[in-house]
Structure 1
Amino acid sequence: MRRMDNGNKDRRIKWLILLIPTITIGLWEYVRHAFLLPYVSMDLGNLLAPFIVLAVTLTLVRSLFTRMEQSQMALQREKEAKAALEERESLARELHDGISQSMFLLAVKLDQLDELSREEPVRELAGGLRETVRVMHEDVRQAIANLRQPPSPESAAWVVPLRELLGETAELTGARAEFVWTIRDDGLTDKEKIELHACVREALVNVRKHARASHVYVIGEPDGAGGFRCRIEDDGVGFGGDPLQAQGRFGLRMVRDRAEAMGWSFLAERRGDRTVVELAKRGKRAEQP
């Protein structure tokens, strides 16, 4: 349905692009002959006509071309997303029809071996193998379920290392970790992904060294205007004075410098019982008056 709507919109735009110059000339000729003939000579009117068409083309028609390009790009992204989902579904079918079924048959064979054998070591080995097969079968079933679900922002390849960094921080400090990420993969450029990853890493290293926190959070969310906010939060001891001026504290200064180089805002403050380091990129729609 959405593709049909885009197709109808593109057709309307194409017709408008074709008709606007013709309509412009027709209106100009009508206005010239009906109202301006006593003031504008035929030669001057003929000279002005192409400039009027050019002015209209540079305004209305150019805007229509931009809208059509945006529509085509959206349609292309939709096609790519559909192709990716079809590929995921194909992989899920292959896993189900191949590996999953083979593991089920292997489990049945192990059950038969357990029933036929009277030797205790063999029965123990069969039991251990059966448990291994069960765990592997559950992993395959989970993989199939994940493949059949639409990919989420948290599953993007570049986001996975962020979640792993948070997990490592939690493991080293004994803190509980929470990762919430809703920034779309296409919402950031490759350069922004690299810099954001570096900033989050430095902020988490700072948490490991100084916070003594019991909970650590990494939260990434769009701002609804084409930008984003990324926060690293912890419930640790907080800052003693200005963290950017503390001697030997280079991590947050590096985060601030990277953020400023990218044109992002940087904030490090205490909010209630949490220390918050926030990076934000203001969306273009928010910048419009």
Structure 2
Amino acid sequence: MSDQKIKWLILLIPTLTIGLWEYIRHAFLLPYLSMDLGNFLAPFIVLAVTLTLVLGLFRRLEQSQKALRGQQAATAALEERESLARELHDGIAQSLFLLAVKLDQLDRAAKDDAVRELAGQLRETVRVIHDDVRQAIANLQQPPSPAGDAWVVPLRELLGDTAGVIEAKAEFRWSIPESSLTGKEKVELHACLREALINVRKHARASEVLVVGETVDGGGFRCSVEDNGVGFVGDPMKAKDRFGLKMVRERAGKMGWTFAAERRGERTVVELRKAGAGA
């Protein structure tokens, strides 16, 4: 039943109820009920019908509106990802391509071997950055599915890919029910954990990588990416080349989550935590 029909029923049911009551009273009950008694019973009859029928319609309308708001939030998040993907493609990706062409020209024109070697190193750096940007664009254009637990699969696959690249042991522990997360939370969690895994692949030189997703009391959760690599030197938030972690912190802040990136014993931990109700 559409929302429009539900709204019309909510408006019409009380009116139809009082009209039907008046008809029955005058046609069949007038010899048995006085006018005063009939008038006294009318509001109670309308109240009874309202409690049994109209409240049910209100619940259905609220559920429909809630589902619509969730869909709108998910759509807005996906549109934002598409917009960011286009900006990356039209801006950074194109600039990196042109830079690679210029470096090829420099390599061909240079007569000094040292210049050629430097151009080759720069070209390789540009290639790696360009691959990362293209992968980011691909992930933005194909966000995780919000249906069921399918959205978790890309995280598990990314962990496997990361472990394969750095030849590390991978472990995936995930116990957060899909139903406890909104579509927006799934999108943001995926983006944050993906960035943390890419950071492990680029910098950690780890032999073990662990992704954890678990619930906490009150309906919250804790998610982390942990590794036994080289760790951070100083405060990672102040490092000039740690833009990814800064973006993760900003995303977490906008969602109302706490963020931590620190060394805990022999492990480096990047953690996101949503406090449960009453915490």
Residue 183 of structure 1 aligns with an amino acid whose one-letter code is E
- Does the residue aligned with 1:177 lie in a helix, a strand or coil? strand
In 1, the alpha carbon distance for the partners of 2:46 and 2:122 equals 80
Task: Tell me if structure 1 keeps the 8 A contact 2:70–2:182.
Answer: no
Normalising by structure 1, what TM-score? 0.54
**1:59 corresponding residue in structure 2:** 52
1:186 matched to 2:182:
yes
In 2, the alpha carbon distance for the partners of 1:180 and 1:112 equals 49
In 2, the alpha carbon distance for the partners of 1:175 and 1:91 equals 33
In 1, the alpha carbon distance for the partners of 2:41 and 2:20 equals 13
**2:64 corresponding residue in structure 1:** 71
1:223-262 alignment runs, 5 A limit? none
**1:253 corresponding residue in structure 2:** none
Quick one: percent identity of the two aligned structures? 65
Note the C-alpha offset of 1:150.
Answer: 2.8
- Does the residue aligned with 2:23 lie in a helix, a strand or coil? helix
Note the C-alpha offset of 1:199.
Answer: 11
In the TM superposition, what whole-angstrom CA distance separates every residue of 1:156-209 from its partner, at most 9, and x where no partner exists? 9xxx8xx98xx99xx9xx754246677152299xxx8444756999xxxxxxxx
**2:240 corresponding residue in structure 1:** none
**2:246 corresponding residue in structure 1:** none
Going from structure 1 to structure 2, the CA distance change for 1:200 and 1:124 (only over 3 Å counts) comes to closer
Normalising by structure 2, what TM-score? 0.56
Residue 16 of structure 1 aligns with an amino acid whose one-letter code is L
**2:21 corresponding residue in structure 1:** 28
In 1, the alpha carbon distance for the partners of 2:222 and 2:95 equals 43
1:177 matched to 2:171:
yes
In 2, the alpha carbon distance for the partners of 1:58 and 1:200 equals 47
In 2, the alpha carbon distance for the partners of 1:179 and 1:94 equals 34
- Does the residue aligned with 2:2 lie in a helix, a strand or coil? helix
1:102-117 alignment runs, 5 A limit? 102-117=95-110
- Does the residue aligned with 2:33 lie in a helix, a strand or coil? coil
**1:136 corresponding residue in structure 2:** 129
- C-alpha RMSD over aligned residues: 3.8
In 2, the alpha carbon distance for the partners of 1:179 and 1:148 equals 26
Residue 111 of structure 2 aligns with an amino acid whose one-letter code is R
Note the C-alpha offset of 1:95.
Answer: 0.7
In 2, the alpha carbon distance for the partners of 1:23 and 1:15 equals 12
